[in-house]
């Protein structure tokens, strides 16, 4: 049984602890996946990460 199926079953049974637990796990998996993709991008394309941010540069006059 996957998290989505568990979430639907817990919701149908009015199991609020199960629903919140499943939502917390889904959220943590999403944040963890995003963080891993950021690290993968940083390792695969280091030239995209500059020493200075473009927002901190002096404006062109």
- What crossing angle do the helices spanning 16-44 and 3-12 adopt, rounded to 10°? 160
What global pTM score does this model have?
0.70
pLDDT of residue 34: 96
Cα 52 to chain centroid, rounded: 25
Per-residue pLDDT tens, the chain, 61 aa: give them. Answer: 899 999 999 999 999 999 999 999 999 999 999 999 999 998 888 777 766 666 666 666 6
pLDDT of residue 54: 60
Within the chain, residue ranges assigned H as helices are 3-12, 16-44
pLDDT of residue 48: 76
Q: Alpha-carbon dihedral of residues 11, 15, 21, 26, nearest 10 degrees?
A: -10
CA–CA distance, 28 with 22 (Å, rounded to integer): 10
């Amino acid at each position: 049984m996957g998290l989505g199926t568990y979430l639907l079953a817990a919701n149908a049974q009015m199991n609020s602890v199960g629903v919140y637990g499943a939502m917390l796990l889904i959220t943590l998996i999403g944040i963890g996946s995003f963080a891993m993709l950021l690290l993968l991008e940083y390792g695969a394309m280091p030239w995209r990460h500059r020493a200075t941010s473009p927002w901190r540069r002096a404006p062109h006059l």
